[in-house]
Amino acid sequence: MEIIETERTRHRRLREQGSLDGDDLHAILADGFVCHLGVVVDGCPMVVPTVYGLSPDREVVYFHGSVASRSLVASPETTVCLTVTHLDGLVLARSVFEHGVNYRCAMIYGVPRPVTDPEEKLAGLRCLTEHVTPGQWDYARQPSRKELAATALLALSTREASVKIRTGPPGDGDGPDARLGVWAGVRPLRMVRDELEPDPLLPDGIDIPPHLR
């Protein structure tokens, strides 16, 4: 699938890092846990970190929170910008000017839709939980009616999006600074799932379930 550019998503600077490949967009969304929701609340921009889930057809990003959350209450009334960023490496160049980062980043624009249909709400919350830890929705207790009523779920279409990706070494290896004798390269960074830390209050006899091993 190709991403359709709009006036809002058209890359202007560092255009060579832009991608119009829908698979790049979906890979960035699939790889992340946290997005940043940019929304104007009472005339002031807020950028709120929050977890998200991608619908199985990859058409919608779901995010949720308390029904009292100001950013969630304001979101359906305005265009928001939701970003997901992966930091893949520090680019250490010969000159300070050429330093940078390797990254994969997506920005999605739209007016989010509050999800009120009970079936879709459960399905969306399932998406969110499964996105973070597959298998956990069926393993843990699912939300009660009271918990569902206290939770706002919003759906944002992935239709209007832009993607930027930088990979590779610093850009000054073939310029005049190459003669400086300064070491240059990339410090790769990655996020890892580390060893599980059991809750100290866990009673004996509760083993780690297979989906978490």
Ligand X SMILES: Cc1cc2nc3c(=O)[nH]c(=O)nc-3n(C[C@H](O)[C@H](O)[C@H](O)COP(=O)(O)OP(=O)(O)OC[C@H]3O[C@@H](n4cnc5c(N)ncnc54)[C@H](O)[C@@H]3O)c2cc1C
Residues that bind ligand X (CB under 6 A): 8-9, 11-14, 85, 87, 101, 103, 105-107, 162-164
For ligand X, the closer of residues 14 and 140 by Cβ is 14
For ligand X, the closer of residues 62 and 103 by Cβ is 103
For ligand X, the closer of residues 143 and 171 by Cβ is 171
**Cβ–Cβ < 8 Å for 82, 63:** yes
CB of 19 to ligand X, least distance (A): 9
For ligand X, the closer of residues 10 and 211 by Cβ is 10
**Cβ–Cβ < 8 Å for 127, 47:** no
**Cβ–Cβ < 8 Å for 125, 151:** yes
CA 46 to chain CA centroid, Å, is 17
Backbone angles phi, psi at 6, to 5 degrees: -120, 175
CB of 193 to ligand X, least distance (A): 21
Contacts of residue 41, Cβ cutoff 8 Å, sequence gap at least 6: 70, 71, 74
Amino acid at 135: G
CB of 174 to ligand X, least distance (A): 22
CB of 103 to ligand X, least distance (A): 4
